[in-house]
Structure 1
């Protein structure tokens, strides 16, 4: 059995390459990838294909679950075939088949899980149901060979958490959002301002020409004890700022200034919580060497820049996976499966897809007026 800290994962049969097919369908991107688990860092992803549904959901300003599920069902078979063809391997060459088992939009998760189960059963391969959040959490080991333990800021459209990653399947949650996730706040603020969907890239682009000091927006929970996040009040403050402006459409400069002010407040608030977590991490996990950011909002350039500075100041390496692996992708699912397979783990074919699946099930529930998630 390989060590949990092993950086080159051995094949179950050391004489043959360890190829793993991964499938991701938890939200609005259909993806398939083949990873060679026993290859050195930089050569592990043999093929990857992602089909975005952005244009399908753009008219609605967010993801419509029914549309997403139908799109996954329509596209997945062809995407898996393309990923296998690009990898130059057959199904018989695989060591395992993996899919996101949750959390996510349950219709899409079911599509991916059923496809992976069918391939695994027909070709007599191990099946692994991967926690989507663990896929994000282990991506730094796919791209950068980061040893355990490390401090992770997982920040996306549906999740905002601070976790200590102690090993495969071993997570200690320090903090979570008590209301909106950061990515959700980006999307909703972009819609208020009239910047379109998805909100993260739209807000970042608009903020480039904006004045971040024009609107005096709050920094939720800044300076407070603990490591939790809150973005609902910030989002509401943006709405109030818009309502207090003269009637009529917002000018281009108004939009830029609102985007810049919102982004600055969100980054400032996030940095405060991460700074507290870094000091807690260094005091309690002295062997840890890295601060890692993952998830779709990890693509935000100002946030990355501030986290880089913070990590350097606190004596930690800063690791951010390549942008293509920050958003939802199948390479991270295949890699997380590879890490589990190396520990002798797999899942039964009667695994049930999960709309919710916390990384740290023992963590206390978030407390606060807007707390709705475990």
Structure 2
């Protein structure tokens, strides 16, 4: 392992390039939306562990007590927790001889510095975005299903983080939503809102995948809801557009809707595959849009750096490194991070499964 042959460019531009990529990922210029950035609070872990806390924080009314009488004893909130190790996320990329030869040619021809840096640092950008994509996938899969996992598509060690969603806060439906002729999605969601209210919670947000939303839009109840909103009381009810139905359903429930249509690309054994991040058919109702923490820790190599490797730190302990090897020969880029999305307060999260008929 040796220093990169392009060390002068790396020393001068690498830190700024990583900072720019991180800023772009976090800002509005990037077309990809990362919900975990707005729905989770970054939290650094010292011991490399994550913990999800659930408290039975149900408020009860004070008693009316006669003067000179003792105050009645009430129970304190019951607290439960789940915990585990923070996994490492990462990827490694190699520039082979042909690619390095092309980069040498760009430099020899006096190409614009931006073109040279784009070619030299492209792997760093892909690695940084790759960490963000995996984080988003884990978050959306975990929030929708209650279990963040990478068992099937992950190349390395599988991750399985069970948030312990409460059975009391879960429900199925009268008729699966894919059966648009007979399903009752409006009623199902209203019953879930009532279920939350009975548990002492007021939900303000609802999230579902686009397929489930479209099933609801095409259902008889969905058409009826829209028709009523426009004063159509006849026998022919048109199917509302996506925008029309979203507006009328939000007005009906008073909830803020978030329709998730997010895919993440994975590569395993050289084969790329696109996976939907949201667990299909799940509808999640929330009392708050901030649902937990993004727990992170510095990777081990950050504290044990090699003199032959050039390092730059990204966001939340992400470590980017570049170096050269001769057997096999190549310019290598590694991107590592230790982080895991953790959903807290699962007593305030309600899950409706539109693919399961409620017994």
Structure with the bigger percentage of helix: 1
TM-score (norm 2): 0.26
Q: Which has the higher contact order (CA 8 A, sep 6+)?
A: 2
TM-score (norm 1): 0.25
The structure that has the greater radius of gyration is 2
Structure with the bigger percentage of strand: 2
